[in-house]
Amino acid sequence: MENRGYSFHNPFLLKNMNEALMRIVRAVNEREKIIVYGCCDLDGISAVSLLFLVLKYLNADVEYFISDGDDDNFDIRTDIIKNHVKFLGTNLMITVGCGINSSYQVDLCKQLGIDVIITDNHHCHNKVPDTIVVSPKQKDCIYPFKDLSSVGVAYKLVQSISSYYQMKSISKYLDLVMLGTKSNKVSYEGENKAIIDEGIYHMNYTNNYGLRALMKVSNIKHIDIINVNKLIDSIAPSWNNTRMLDNARITVELLTTSNSDRAEQIAKYLKNEVKGSRVCNK
């Protein structure tokens, strides 16, 4: 795996990874409508942004949807499938960081003619949904590192996609992977340590307009572990208010835009939201 000396495990050690890859390849090559579905914490936002950027690069017909993650149960929401995913003409829905306990919703998608790939980092509490599931925490998954974040699992999927399409320099996306991983407060060891250390390195040279805009409005010129936490704090408090879901969606736009002016506009907006939320919480 491409890196600067850190060890990343083979993504195909994850159960069902090859099946997930082949279904995505078919969707990309046949221009099927793909929806990337995630929750509104920063880990989920980073995962949605990562997969959206990679699929867009491959010229896929892809959109994303952010759920509010009702009650922190990380299930796929039935109303979103019925009221949004269905009407977008979706052929394939890929979840990031959610869905491993959503058997009913997966069956509903099947009835509507929508294929589902679940990527998740949570434990399955009941029966694993009858679809392609990629998670290191599946009971019979031999992947050696179990503590990946949502965006960490999404990055393993991106590694498999990059191997098929012979994409170069996917390590440039580790800045996004690092941001979500660090926000999730997972263990700083094993593959997470590689992600965080490599991600900090790459963020100092990032070409992501959103991350550069966040650094600019936060007056951060060099990224280290302390400044990463400042960047996370510069976004996260804006979700602790009634506009949480709207701010999550606009954060995905920030991290995926190819317009530097728009990125700076959003970064300034989020900074003002932080100030507002802190005043309201006093």
CA angle 51, 135, 159 (to 5 degrees): 40
Say yes or no: 135 and 50 in one domain: yes
- Tell me what the mean pLDDT of segment 39-63 comes to: 95
What whole-number percentage of the chain has pLDDT above 90?
Answer: 77
The residue with tokens 């690092």 is 178
Asked if pLDDT for residue 277 goes beyond 70, the answer is no
Length of the chain: 282
Indicate the residue among 128, 154, 173 that finishes a domain: 173
Characterize the bridge pairing of strands 115-119 and 132-134. parallel
Q: Which segment of 7-21, 67-81, 84-98, 250-264 scores lowest on mean pLDDT?
A: 67-81
Q: Is residue 218 part of a domain?
A: yes
Indicate the residue among 150, 173, 196 that finishes a domain: 173
pLDDT at 235: 78
Round the average pLDDT of the chain to a whole number and report it. Answer: 90
Which residue range forms the structural domain that includes residue 117? Answer: 1-173
pLDDT at 1: 43
CA angle 261, 254, 214 (to 5 degrees): 75
Say yes or no: 208 and 108 in one domain: no
Q: Which residue has the higher pLDDT, 233 or 144?
A: 144
3-state SS class at 232: helix
Q: Is residue 189 part of a domain?
A: no
Alpha helices by DSSP H, listed for the chain, are 17-29, 42-57, 78-80, 103-111, 150-165, 174-184, 190-203, 209-217, 225-235, 244-256, 260-280
**What whole-number distance in Å separates Cα of residue 27 and Cα of residue 235?**
33
Q: Into how many domains does the chain fold?
A: 2
Band of residue 68 on the pLDDT scale cut at 50, 70, 90: confident
Say yes or no: 53 and 134 in one domain: yes
Indicate the residue among 151, 173, 195 that finishes a domain: 173
Q: Is residue 190 part of a domain?
A: no
Say yes or no: 126 and 246 in one domain: no
pLDDT at 234: 78
**What whole-number distance in Å separates Cα of residue 241 and Cα of residue 142?**
40
- Tell me what the mean pLDDT of segment 203-214 comes to: 95
The residue with tokens 């009634």 is 242
Q: Which residue has the higher pLDDT, 125 or 199?
A: 199
Say yes or no: 146 and 214 in one domain: no
Say yes or no: 70 and 159 in one domain: yes
CATH number reported for the structural domain that contains residue 34 in this entry: 3.90.1640.30
Asked if pLDDT for residue 43 goes beyond 50, the answer is yes
Name the CA radius of gyration of the chain, rounded. Answer: 18
Q: Is residue 193 part of a domain?
A: no
pLDDT at 274: 65
Say yes or no: 243 and 136 in one domain: no
Q: Which two tokens stand for residue 266?
A: 């959003």
The residue with tokens 């999550």 is 248
- The pLDDT tens digits of the residues spanning 141-178 come to 999 999 999 999 999 999 999 999 999 889 999 999 99
pLDDT at 272: 83
